[in-house]
Structure 1
Amino acid sequence: MLSSRVPRDYTPNPLAVLLQEKRAAGRPILDLTVTNPTSVGLPTLSVRALAAIADPEGARYEPDPRGRREAREAIAAYYAARGTPAGGIDPARIFLTASTSEAYAHLFRLLCDPEDEVLVPRPSYPLLAPLARLEGTHLRQYRLAYDGRWALDLDSLEAAIGPKTRAVVLIEPNNPTGSCLSPTERAAVESICAERGITIISDEVFGDFPWPPRPEVLPSWSDERRVATFVLGGISKLCGLPQMKLGWIAASGPEGAMRDALSGLEWIADLFLSVGTPVQVALPRLLEERAGFQSAVRERIDANLTILRGPAGKRGARSPAEDDDPPFLLLEGEGGWSAVLRFMRPAAAAGSESVAEWALRSRDVLLHPGHFYDLPGEDDVVVSLLTPPAQMAEAALRIRDGWR
């Protein structure tokens, strides 16, 4: 009765079962996986922002497949403020969506026939696979490798390209690794795509959250490109407002390629018209007020990275001799809300279970296992840098004390 695109097995994994048992027993859990900015004590909507959402203009319905012009101009101004060269992004090349997930879906529909392929990084966010499956698109992976820093394996990228490859997805910074491509890697990717006629999709939802001591702004693909390029953004991360449901696609590239792409994207967007008017009306104000939220997030990221680089762990670029047998290594990144920890040796108490299962069972600490993201190490885990620092510090101590 159901299509093959829908899963048949919804059996919870062992970690989820253990978590249910712990919560049913009333055990307090130190949850290091929460990335919902509205539930971790960060600044919320101001009175002025709430007033903008309640603006009477939001009661009018004047549908535009690309989204309200004033909202798109505010997004273009945001990119200009980030330093996008060549006059910034033309608002006519911006399309509003209800989420980044919808932006991916629109682009898969635009670029791919059934069975066509899109290349995605490994590791990366697990949501990409079901999104592609729903659109009948196949994903192929290229490798990111860690050796003191995350680097693109260009050989694996070129090997993954086939006759049905339509696009390469870049996630800048990557979720969960926090990595960005180097200038040399960016140039190589663009050259490969230009030679093969492949489109670039750059997911930059975490682009405003560099890890210190890096510059305020991480690299973007939003300037004029040699190939058709679609940059994804949204206020879920940019402003900490996932409940407002507004993202976007910003397009750049050669005029000829863009003409057909923009027409096709407009046709697709017109079928859905999914973004509510009130949030479109409020968007200029919401973007104006992003600084307070972003400052609080950066402070929290800094505090949590300091904890993870402290006595319980060590930095990925440092020598193991600098610390006294720490339980995990922080794999260094450049930005974003997540961090990868690589555990240094098996815990005597862990036996055959995963690090994440051991941490939850014996220390009441919830971590995301690395295999959720296709991380290479058996003992890799992922933590949220939005975690309140006191909670992160307590969890790190519990893990250190239990790992001995």
Structure 2
Amino acid sequence: MDSGKWTKKPVASARSEVLNPIRTTLEKDFKIPETHDKNLINFTLGEPTKANGYPLPDETKEAIIEAVESEKYNGYTHSSGHLDARQAVVDKYSTEEAPFDKDDVVLTFGCSGAQYTVFSAMCEPGDNVLVPRPGFPLCLPITQNLGVELRYYDLDPEDEFSIKLDTVESQIDDKTKFILVVNPSNPCGSVFSKEHMEDIIALAEKHQVPLVADEIYYGFSYDDSKPFHSFAHVNTEIPLITFGAISKTYCVPGWRLGWAIVYNRGGYFDNILANMQKLAMIWLHPSSLVQQALVKILRDVPESYFEKTKAKLKEASDKACEVLTGIRGVKPVRSKGAMYMMVLIEHDEFEDIEDDVDFCKKLLNEQNAFVLPSTCFFAKNMFRIVLCHPLEKIEELGLRINEFCENHYKK
């Protein structure tokens, strides 16, 4: 065979620029030191697992064991998810004021799958969507893959990362398909007040641009001044799509089961819901075992489990603020929800720190402490830490950041 016939290398040009900022940072751009006199402490990924002090409740373990032992759920399910599993989402989250039924639910491969499904169902090449900055970066590779423009609106770190509504309004045009809102926030750890949510909804109504709400941290507010409210309940008339999953609040991030709920008020999303269900026939459903376990998980895990988890996260947030406040050159913004905290970097205090990426790379190399730069979240001059760690580990992170900063202050 003449091997010269195989010299051309096909490239899918539409995919060549697709980039997941977090995964690129973790797997390509940053290198963990092979040898170091300090053990690695890794604050990059939100993994509420037993190893990090977040064991599963008995009900969750029993649910998956029962699903395996029954041997009833090893086959395929409906493309949009098992009927019982979708009904379990209805039973858990549907209310008299904000109802939906099982046909309004599509189960997905994690909350990431819910995002991909909704973006794909709502957008065509040339459309644009509005997303927060700082914000969770998965929307970047999704829109790159779909040929959709990503437009950013700003969150205000001086106002607990509330939305700067003027930066939303300035981006809207006739190609804007939806506004993505994230509450509670990854990466900011912020929670919107009900009044602020009403202002966001009013803006969406003014421009007739629907909201898509990432609520994977549903209910996870641990500050009395900022209780959690779902967008579906703040206004019961606007058409709305919400995301959810068991990965974070139920502490099983690797089980990869999420959902999209379509509040199809007035039939506004008829075509979109049909598109989502058709897309589900392409990439199909999440694990049939986890789907069956979902019924028992959503029904039987007690509220006390979530209260304990939120209390741990609040304690972690308080500890992070305690160990970082007072370190010249960094300024934590107290987390009130989810499991993250953003820390501002005051570059003028440092002699040889160029930006947030440089800060985090040097912190990793010198202190073997791994945090993510805000560049991963479309922002600058900040870094994100994960709070679902034992308090002693958070305290150790504070000590290392303090030592690192002292070594880099201007003389």
TM range (shorter): 0.7 to 0.9
SS of residue matched to 1:130: helix
Query: 1:59: which partner in 2?
Result: 74
Mapping of residues 75-224 of structure 1, within 5 Å = 75-80=89-94, 84-86=95-97, 88-214=99-225, 218-223=228-233
Measure the CA separation in 2 of the matches of 1:127 and 1:24: 32
**Letter matched to residue 189 of structure 2:** G
Aligned residues: 387
> What amino acid does structure 2 have at the position aligned with 1:3?
A
With normalisation by structure 1, the TM-score equals 0.85
Aligned partners of 1:101, 1:9: CA distance in 2, in Å? 15
Following the alignment from structure 2 to structure 1, what is the Cα–Cα distance between the partners of residues 34 and 97? 54
Give the counterpart of 2:394 among 389, 392, 395: 392
Deviation at 1:166, TM superposition (A): 0.6
Aligned mate of 1:403, from 392, 402, 405: 405
Structure 2 length normalisation: TM-score? 0.84
Identity of aligned residues (%): 21
> 1:198, 1:227 within 8 Å by CA — same for their partners in 2?
no
Unaligned runs of 5+ in 2: 1-9, 407-411
Cα shift at 1:153: 1.2
Look up the SS of the partner of 2:247 in the other structure: helix
Secondary structure at the residue paired with 2:116? Answer: helix
Structure 2: distance between partners of 1:304 and 1:333: 9
- Shift, 1:229, TM fit: 0.9
Q: Does 1:4 align with 2:18?
A: no
**Is residue 297 of structure 1 aligned with residue 319 of structure 2?**
no
Please, what is the CA RMSD of the aligned residues?
2.9
Contact map agreement 1:105 1:135 (CA 8 A) in 2: no
Does 2:37 align with 1:23? no
| Matching residue of 1:269 | 280
Q: CA deviation at 1:182?
A: 3.1
Please state whether the residue corresponding to 2:162 is helix, strand or coil: strand
SS in 2 for 1:237: coil
Deviations 1:85-135 (A, max 9, x none): 516432221111112222112112211111111110111012210011112
| Structure 1 residues 346-361: aligned runs within 5 Å | 348=350, 350-352=352-354, 354-361=358-365
SS at the partner of 1:37? Answer: coil
Distance 2:174 2:270 in 1: 24
Q: Is the 8 A contact 2:47 2:248 kept in 1?
A: no
1:307 aligns with one of 314, 319, 323: 319
Structure 2 equivalent of residue 234 of structure 1: 245
